[in-house]
Amino acid sequence: MQSWFRPLAIAVAASLPLVAQANDRLSVYAWAEYLPDSVLTDFTKETGVRVDYATFDSNEALYAKLKLLQTSGASESYDLIFPSSYMLSKMAREGMLTPLDKSKLPHLEQLEPSLLDREFDPGNRFSVPYAFGSTAIAVNRDELADAEITSWQDLWSGQWQGQLMLTDDIRENFQMALLTLGHSANSREPAEIKAAYDKLVTLQDNVLLYNSDNPRMPYVAGEVSLGLIWSDQAYKTQQDGMPLEYVYPEEGAIFWVDSAAIPANAKSVDAAHQFIDFLMRPEIAARIIQELGIAVPNQGAKALLPAEVADNQVLFPSGDIVAKGHFQDDLGDEVLAVYEEHWVRLRSN
């Protein structure tokens, strides 16, 4: 993802976070199209805390930047980050995060209980869930009106040569391949990981591009009509009027949870707590859902949504779809290194 930065009254972020008086400015490192400008502006108006916002395009990029800042003695730091569940576990294990002060988070009670106290952060010691969603298959029905796409395996069909877009994400690509082989989406077995790599190699002739910067844009621009997409991006594209079908594959979709967490070297810890609690207010969470199409696990917010949003199966899938899906587990450093080795080989071909 190309780094892009918020305009308006929000401070412009550089490639590294800014050094500022603690709690006067908040340095946020997050995904693109992840926090509405209006929410950031309103937080600044209410608290006087200016928000510097920079983006990353993968959990691995987030980890690498944060690790560099924490081990190099740099004076810069980020105050708030939004890792996915498996990366959150890794960061907590390596001492990269600050424990949360729950007394400063009165709106924590608004969150969906089923996403609290999960295995990736027992007791929510280091994080609170901000967003959840899935990765599944996008089909532009203007271009592929009659295409029968029901499974991950369908993407391997020779008719899609040079036509697919995949997310530029290690875990999602390997999970997709593992599921087509009948293996666990969170396999720790080297032989199964190698088999998934071999399976992905056979898909390369069908792949036109990888994109995790803004995965909906290649569909909107007409570059591709079939491939992977995140649920929030699919929803936003549909709301813009494009007939993009979001297909939950027969093998099960890939589900993820992104959480708000405070780095161990954060300067503005109090402001970070303020902002986390601000995001958990039902009216703020409802605005995020409606403006960005991000599924925020906030019970109070869902009650404020129009029925057509609250009942939307892209944003809020049924229990059956979730039960059939596969959440991303923390695999541990040794296993992740095996995935990374194969991923580098795959992407360098």
Contact 272, 78 (CB under 8 A): no
Contact 181, 199 (CB under 8 A): yes
86 annotated as ligand-binding: yes
- Residue 233: closest CA among 176, 290, 293, 173: 293
34 annotated as ligand-binding: no
Q: Which residue has the tokens 């199209």?
A: 33
- Give the torsion sign (CA, 331, 334, 340, 341): negative
Q: Which residues contact 309 (CB under 8 A, 6 or more apart)?
A: 289, 290, 315
Angstrom distance (rounded) from CA 25 to CA 48: 8
Maximum pairwise Cα distance, the chain: 58
33 annotated as ligand-binding: yes
- Residue 207: closest CA among 4, 346, 335, 8: 346
- How many C-alpha atoms does 277 have within 13 Å on its Cβ side? 16
2 annotated as ligand-binding: no
The DSSP secondary structure of 192-226, one letter per residue, reads: HHHHHHHHHHHHGGGEEEE--SSTTHHHHTTS-SE
28 in helix, strand or coil? strand
171 annotated as ligand-binding: yes
Contact 202, 20 (CB under 8 A): no
- Residue 256: closest CA among 322, 304, 342, 200: 322
DSSP letter at 145 equals T
Angstrom distance (rounded) from CA 257 to CA 51: 23
CA distances from 226 to 16, 172, 219 (A): 35, 16, 8
330 in helix, strand or coil? coil
328 annotated as ligand-binding: yes
46 annotated as ligand-binding: no
Angstrom distance (rounded) from CA 58 to CA 311: 29
Annotated binding site: 33, 86, 169-172, 328
- The binding site for spermidine comprises 33, 86, 169-172, 328
